[in-house]
Structure 1
Amino acid sequence: MFSFIIISVIFLILLYKWSTMSTTNKSSSPPSPPKLPIIGNIHQLGRHPHRSLRALAQRHGPLMLLHLGSVPVLIVSTTELARVIMKTHDLDFSDRPKLTAFDKLLYNSKDVSMAPYGEYWRQLRSISVLHLLSNKMVQSFRGVREEETKSMLEKMESNSCVNLSELLMTLTNDVVCRVALGRKYSDGEGARNFKKLLGEFVELLGTFFVGDYIPWLAWISYVNGLDGRAEKVAKEFDEFLDTVVQQHIDDHGHHQSVGNEDCYKDFTDILLHVQRQNLIGFSIDTACIKALILDMFEAGTDTTATVLEWAMTELLRHPNIMKKLQTEVRSIAGNKTHITEDYLEGMHYLKAVLKETLRLHTPVPLLVPRVSRTQVKINGYEIQAGSQVYINAWAIGRDPSSWEKPDEFYPERFLNSDVDYKGHNFELVPFGAGRRGCPGIVFAMAVNELALANLVHRFDWKLPGGAKGEDLDVTESTGITIHKKLPLLAVPTMYLPKN
């Protein structure tokens, strides 16, 4: 009886709220699928929103307006419209929504990925581009990438079957930890706790908080424990980063006392140096430093590992493509047991395989949402200020008007093509484009190219139990980053080059 009363009260509140909600001017708004009271179109997102939204767009059009609770959300599903949003009207759509997960986990969105558009964000991006992620800085960490890739290969040599998903995640975590923090946290005491903490952090970033879209139901996240989980993870990561920052401050004091000023070895060192010297004419506090460090984990670990996981999945599903890639890599590397970055420039098919992976398996399929800063007219439709905008990069990568045989894994399509993923070609936008495009493209792809080249050079690969490529389960996970649902298991056989 008590449950019935509660349900009845909630139903009456929902009915009242629906009856008092204002309606939009449908004649000037983009087409919308039918919506339910209060929740709007939330129920139509499904477990894999990028797929559900493509299906809806095929019925209602490539510029589609949804209502997620009380929030108008524009869905963009074609190359031309992506260009309009991220180039023609880039400034109009350069803001970010205020989302609970990012506020709780990223110091009230003080990081570069989610900070509101304005002077603070411009200064943060300038720090990232000039001091952390420039070509010169990425090159300076080449040794870290090569050492950690070699370490991953050595772990595989003595195993008859390996969990590639786990090993690739360890690789990207170790590279980011060494580059951002000065050491890795996958070995020794506390490694398991750190790995668990990082996993929860990434998972929570992609979690739906109902209060973001139906504010008066925000209490649900408190009741179901979601708020508490996010606060616990944020507190633990904050304490961890406090320790890391303090160690770097202490180490700098030691180096100064012995007269060694050349001691900026990682991102934390660099950020503390920028803070001390006020190099950008803009004061950054410790919370800002920690938020920028967390950006590296948010954008540089899970997504990079995902690209490698899907690349190896597709190569195992297509042995002829695997063989063609191995032929290229091994002909260039010769009898070397490990490939260094010196050899990567001429590996055109390797780069094509990675582009095709990014097209077919965009790691963050809906990119990071934008918000319209002003009212804008697009294709004759009025887009209200404050509307959220999702670019369905996954759907754009499979759009038959842009790609021949769009659902087929065919790297050759990129061999005689100028299309790239750097934000200039809007049919391939895995990293976004415009002002809010990802500043870490060079860093991410340096890890991807080196790791994949070494994996296919060092070993021949097959699936366990004699399984065929077509038997490989390619079901997707849920969340902000799309992995394989099941870990990728494979059998490596060491390749011995002929002298």
Structure 2
Amino acid sequence: MEYSPVSLLWLGLLLPAFLAFLLSRRKPTKLPPQPPAWPVIGNILDLWPAPHRNLHSFRAEHGPVTWLKLGSLNTMVIQSAQAAAEFFKGHDLAFADRKCPHALTALGYDQGSLAFGRYGSYWRVLRRLCSAELLVNKRINETAHLRQKCADSVIAYVEEEVAAKRATIEQGIDLSHFLFLLTFNVMGNMVLSRDLLDPQSKDGPEFFDAMNRVMEWAGKPNVSDFTPWLRWWDPQGIKAGMTKDMGRAMKIAEGFVKERLEERKLGGETRATKDFLDAMLDYEGDGKEGPPKISLQNVNVIILEMFFAGAESTSSTIEWMMAELLRQPESMKKAKDELDQVVGLNGKLEESGTEKMPFLQAVVKETLRLHPPVPLLLPRNTLKETNFMGFDIPKDTMVYVNAWGIGRDPDAWEDPLAFKPERFLGSNIDYKGQNFELIPFGSGRRMCVGLSLAHRVLHLALASLLYRFDWELGSGLTPETLDMRERSGITLRMLHPLKVIPKKRSA
């Protein structure tokens, strides 16, 4: 069919008018305020080198809910306690999905993950299993002796290190190394019924190194997260590096699982109580019949995830607690005096005793307020188009909740930048997901499943360190010169590991 020039002219005039008419009929979309953005890349450059700090700086001009365009990705940021309360209380289900970093799709990790898994029936089964078998209060109470053993072992390791470095002790020891060893072995005992890092360990050091590398890859800024058309290329090589190191860790986890399966096959169960691996294997299957089951591949993934989440974030928080107390000698003295009063000068420190230590508990809360282990929490994803606080939020919008910024919300906290544990004495504010000015573990459906365990480990570890040693800063540092800068990643560690001099306390 041929068109005359007149017909083509009318088509050229009417088509734009028709498109304009269709656009005018669309419901107008109201988005949150957005900082100026570059073409194509949007606000990506606004994130680094410290995304939590940079995003927090937008609040003064753009308000408590900020909109960003990160490459092709729509992104909303929650920046105040009031907005967080509305988000978690009124819209938790609409935002219950996850955005998974491209690096963590290596080896199908995201398909078995509880932390990064998509919201659905499999995720609900996994969440229920983790809550009931590993992290329910009854199980945590029954395993207090395991955490005590790990804490006592680390105290002994510190004493050995001091003795070995007596000539150079003024330079200090790397406290972060011992804290990671503590939390890593706590998870080893809870999940696998064994210490993984000790002089006799064979697989432990290799597992430890592989896990460290995986955390480094996961924390690297990755352009593939914001430009999906580049994922096949992996321009920074992050997924390739993750695949290699996660493969090492996965192989070791697979060895633990195979060993346990052989034990069970031979009827060689020797543990007085089931550990988490036993519970996972009780639920293992292909899921073709009945309710969803957990494949052996995903059992390996969950084992890795327990170590990722349980060891890294907890050890970094303990390090921040010690750093803050070393900067505030008066707070350090109050915590020690309380310990001596509750435990006695020659008593036996036990995990349950920390429940009688309100100042120690206040130190933990204040540290989590200023140094939440995952400053932007893990990113949520919008399941459907949602109206939030008067804004029209499209489906598949990524959502960051800036827990670091909310801990500094001037509308929620007096003198928010100061370390003052006393603010929590006599206060009912807690970090269990109902007080939205303090949400280091998140809230709602996707709240950190390990909160109860982390709570116990944080208090026991800090109490053990303070009760057994007097602490000074090493390398000639003073409270005024201690470097409190952060190293950004998924978790928020000190930029430079804390160097300290431990001196055994006399009776």
Contact 2:336 2:466 in 1 (8 A): yes
Taking a change above 3 Å as real, the CA distance of residues 250 and 55 of structure 1, as seen in their structure-2 partners, is same
Contact 2:35 2:62 in 1 (8 A): yes
Q: CA deviation at 1:73?
A: 0.3
Taking a change above 3 Å as real, the CA distance of residues 190 and 123 of structure 1, as seen in their structure-2 partners, is closer
- Residue of structure 1 in register with 2:266 after alignment: 254
2:477 corresponds, among 467, 481, 489, to 467
Contact 1:185 1:191 in 2 (8 A): yes
Q: Distance in 1 between matches of 2:344 and 2:427?
A: 27
Q: CA deviation at 1:266?
A: 2.2
274-283 or 228-237, larger mean C-alpha shift: 274-283
For 1:127, give the aligned amino acid.
L
Q: Deviations over 1:477-498 (max 9, x none)?
A: 121111111010111111122x
Taking a change above 3 Å as real, the CA distance of residues 99 and 448 of structure 1, as seen in their structure-2 partners, is same
Q: CA deviation at 1:183?
A: 2.0
183-192 or 409-418, larger mean C-alpha shift: 183-192
- Residue of structure 1 in register with 2:277 after alignment: 268
1:299-338 → structure 2 map (5 Å cutoff): 299-336=309-346, 338=348
Query: Residue 449 of structure 1: SS of its match in structure 2?
Result: helix
Q: CA deviation at 1:465?
A: 4.9
Q: CA deviation at 1:138?
A: 1.4
Contact 1:150 1:338 in 2 (8 A): no
- Residue of structure 1 in register with 2:255 after alignment: 243
Query: Residue 461 of structure 1: SS of its match in structure 2?
Result: strand
Q: Is 1:399 aligned to 2:409, yes or no?
A: yes
Q: Distance in 1 between matches of 2:182 and 2:108?
A: 24
Q: Distance in 2 between matches of 1:253 and 1:417?
A: 53
Q: CA deviation at 1:435?
A: 0.5
Q: Distance in 1 between matches of 2:299 and 2:42?
A: 38
Query: Residue 487 of structure 2: SS of its match in structure 1?
Result: coil
- Residue of structure 2 in register with 1:109 after alignment: 111
Q: Distance in 2 between matches of 1:399 and 1:233?
A: 38
Taking a change above 3 Å as real, the CA distance of residues 328 and 392 of structure 1, as seen in their structure-2 partners, is same
Gapped regions of structure 2 (runs ≥ 5): 1-22, 163-168
- Residue of structure 2 in register with 1:79 after alignment: 81
- Residue of structure 2 in register with 1:169 after alignment: 180
Q: Distance in 1 between matches of 2:290 and 2:368?
A: 34
- Residue of structure 2 in register with 1:181 after alignment: 192
Query: Residue 117 of structure 1: SS of its match in structure 2?
Result: coil
Q: CA deviation at 1:179?
A: 1.5
261-270 or 94-103, larger mean C-alpha shift: 261-270
- Residue of structure 1 in register with 2:65 after alignment: 63
Question: Of the two, which has the highest radius of gyration?
Answer: 2
Taking a change above 3 Å as real, the CA distance of residues 26 and 60 of structure 1, as seen in their structure-2 partners, is farther
475-484 or 206-215, larger mean C-alpha shift: 206-215
Q: Is 1:209 aligned to 2:219, yes or no?
A: no
Q: CA deviation at 1:237?
A: 2.0
Q: Distance in 2 between matches of 1:245 and 1:77?
A: 42
Query: Residue 256 of structure 2: SS of its match in structure 1?
Result: helix
Taking a change above 3 Å as real, the CA distance of residues 374 and 350 of structure 1, as seen in their structure-2 partners, is same
Q: Is 1:141 aligned to 2:151, yes or no?
A: no
Q: Distance in 1 between matches of 2:459 and 2:244?
A: 36
Q: Is 1:435 aligned to 2:445, yes or no?
A: yes
Q: CA deviation at 1:44?
A: 0.7
Q: Distance in 2 between matches of 1:353 and 1:228?
A: 41
Contact 1:102 1:109 in 2 (8 A): no
Q: Distance in 1 between matches of 2:394 and 2:154?
A: 50
Q: CA deviation at 1:289?
A: 1.4
Q: Distance in 1 between matches of 2:464 and 2:246?
A: 36
For 1:95, give the aligned amino acid.
D
Q: Distance in 2 between matches of 1:47 and 1:299?
A: 23
Contact 1:461 1:490 in 2 (8 A): yes
2:241 corresponds, among 195, 215, 229, to 229
Q: Distance in 2 between matches of 1:99 and 1:156?
A: 37
Contact 1:96 1:370 in 2 (8 A): yes
- Residue of structure 2 in register with 1:100 after alignment: 102
Query: Residue 97 of structure 2: SS of its match in structure 1?
Result: coil
For 1:213, give the aligned amino acid.
F
1:28-39 → structure 2 map (5 Å cutoff): 28-39=30-41
Q: CA deviation at 1:60?
A: 1.4
Query: Residue 67 of structure 2: SS of its match in structure 1?
Result: strand
Q: Deviations over 1:424-467 (max 9, x none)?
A: 00000000000010111011111111010011111111112553
Q: Deviations over 1:48-69 (max 9, x none)?
A: 1000001122221111110000
Contact 2:130 2:449 in 1 (8 A): yes
Taking a change above 3 Å as real, the CA distance of residues 200 and 280 of structure 1, as seen in their structure-2 partners, is farther
- Residue of structure 2 in register with 1:192 after alignment: 205
For 1:133, give the aligned amino acid.
L
Aligned alpha-carbon RMSD (Å): 2.2
Query: Residue 355 of structure 2: SS of its match in structure 1?
Result: coil
265-274 or 447-456, larger mean C-alpha shift: 265-274
113-122 or 363-372, larger mean C-alpha shift: 113-122
Q: Deviations over 1:12-57 (max 9, x none)?
A: xxxxxxxxxx9x9996111111111111100111211000001122
Contact 1:63 1:76 in 2 (8 A): yes
Taking a change above 3 Å as real, the CA distance of residues 381 and 342 of structure 1, as seen in their structure-2 partners, is closer
For 1:450, give the aligned amino acid.
L
For 2:430, give the aligned amino acid.
D
Q: Distance in 2 between matches of 1:191 and 1:92?
A: 41
Query: Residue 470 of structure 1: SS of its match in structure 2?
Result: coil
Taking a change above 3 Å as real, the CA distance of residues 233 and 388 of structure 1, as seen in their structure-2 partners, is same
Contact 2:369 2:440 in 1 (8 A): yes
Query: Residue 402 of structure 1: SS of its match in structure 2?
Result: coil
- Residue of structure 1 in register with 2:292 after alignment: 282
Contact 2:81 2:437 in 1 (8 A): yes
Q: CA deviation at 1:195?
A: 2.0
Query: Residue 355 of structure 1: SS of its match in structure 2?
Result: helix
Q: CA deviation at 1:374?
A: 1.3
For 1:199, give the aligned amino acid.
N
For 1:242, give the aligned amino acid.
E
Normalising by structure 1, what TM-score? Answer: 0.90
For 2:363, give the aligned amino acid.
V
Report how many aligned residue pairs link the two structures.
471
Contact 1:106 1:294 in 2 (8 A): no
Taking a change above 3 Å as real, the CA distance of residues 280 and 432 of structure 1, as seen in their structure-2 partners, is farther
For 1:42, give the aligned amino acid.
I
Q: Distance in 1 between matches of 2:52 and 2:375?
A: 6
Q: Distance in 1 between matches of 2:98 and 2:326?
A: 38
Q: Deviations over 1:307-350 (max 9, x none)?
A: 10000000000000000000001111113365111312101111
Q: Distance in 1 between matches of 2:54 and 2:258?
A: 46
- Residue of structure 2 in register with 1:121 after alignment: 123
Query: Residue 208 of structure 2: SS of its match in structure 1?
Result: helix
For 2:282, give the aligned amino acid.
H
Q: CA deviation at 1:220?
A: 4.7
Query: Residue 334 of structure 2: SS of its match in structure 1?
Result: helix
For 2:352, give the aligned amino acid.
D
Q: Is 1:157 aligned to 2:159, yes or no?
A: yes
Q: CA deviation at 1:202?
A: 1.4
Q: Distance in 2 between matches of 1:349 and 1:64?
A: 36
Contact 2:30 2:392 in 1 (8 A): yes
Taking a change above 3 Å as real, the CA distance of residues 495 and 102 of structure 1, as seen in their structure-2 partners, is same
Q: CA deviation at 1:81?
A: 0.7
